[in-house]
A and B are shown apart, each in its own frame.
Chain A
Amino acid sequence: MLHASRITDRFAALKAQQRTALIPFVTAGDPTPDATVPVMHAMVEAGADLIELGVPFSDPMADGPVIQRASERALAAGMSFGKVLDVVREFRSRDGETPVVLMGYLNPLEAAGYARAAERAAAAGVDGFLTVDLPPEEGEGFVREVRARGLDPVFLVAPTTSDERIERICGEASGFVYYVSLKGVTGAANLDTGEVAERMARIRRVTDLPVGVGFGIHDGASAARVARIGDAVVVGSAVVARVEANAESPDALPGVLAAFIGELRAAMDAETP
């Protein structure tokens, strides 16, 4: 490999420490463009290992109500793809280590142009793209541009994904793959760790990539259960719900989210030797 990415380096370091990664998701610009960078730093200080940064979109088809509303707040506050990159650039001025993956939908990237979107993202300090409505079958053009800038294309694997497709997806992905542990949209409630463990075994048979597990993790206990089986625990709606609850007082957000991430981190660390 010509280029070891920040994501690959981070997972390698965590593996050496036998530590499961904690990956919080926040929507960039929720509730205001200025609120996000302090939140990102606070979460890293409280134990986040990688950040998934949501790029707001007007029609977030695969998200539940909590993340939909986050997109609406961010767009109402004037967020755009360019401003998301400003957030990353500002974050990078103080943190050169923590990987940042942009998670969102394809149309803003189509509007920017694939090559230009990848170029600008790389320059801002982005490490990867997780584009929810872009399966590998349609992703060739975008993935080529992302890889050409040394960024990682991250893909989803679902409970309904066949073994054949898991192999194909893992062949296209780098950095990590993201196993969505439920069939529903983001923020749905229940979590069957038995089923997740069985699926994880099938994914690991075809890839050495780290596997993140997300959708349905909402507290220390559920994070700890998933920490036993995944290489990374992804927490989205539970984080965003706390942003929403404090949307009127953005200054309180770093403290609130640091406390929540700290709680998850402690519960996860208690699980791993």
Chain B
Amino acid sequence: MSVPAISLTDLHKQFGLAKIIQGVNLDIARGERHAIIGPNGAGKSTLFNLITGRFFPTSGEVRLHGDTISGLQPYEINRRGLSRSFQITNIFPNMTVFENIRCGLLWTMGYRYSFWHMIGRQRDVTERADEILEQINLSSRRDLLAGTLAYAEQRALEIGITIAGGADIILLDEPCAGMSHSETDLIVDLIRKVTEDKTLLIVEHDMGVVFDLADRISVLVYGEIIESDIPDRVRASAKVKEAYLGTTLEEEAV
């Protein structure tokens, strides 16, 4: 087996006395779509924050393509090809939709901290940003301030910013939270489209989305992964049913 895209080894995170993550071991292969599910307070978001450098682990290790990234800053982790979205919409509300996407492009397209380029004249950036707008169906909103968009559009923009830089590992934190059924369908299609040939790690409460999208599912309960397998076996697992899913799985995911 080749080197996994993300590899977590005996990961622990403690806030004061509260042990949130208690020894997580998980390998996610390149190109896999992996979902993490679990009840509220299981530590899903904390796990995300540990992988993306927002929090430092108390102990244990996070590896990206085999290299350890524990202790690196978020921007350093991002430069290694990992990009994330947020559970609470996290965009640049006072910039236009186009500029939001462009901000996501600048680093990886090599402009970095440049003060010797006029940004408006970099045709490669403008064209790439417009392509991404096309992909996320926001071309018609191009020059509006991002803060004025409808909620579902902001969520799409959030995904657009996340994938803009061309990272090969994408982490999405509850991309469908607070959406209607039809909006959810659109977002799921979008996610499938933009994460093709990429490694995807997703946290989501909507079981329909999870079982539809994921190649493999890990179930996190009280900071531990109790099951990690393909959707069918997770659905059938007695351990999972007992610990968490119970009847809701039957109702929602059939």
A and B assemble together: no
Enumerate chain B interface residues (CB-CB to A < 8 A): none
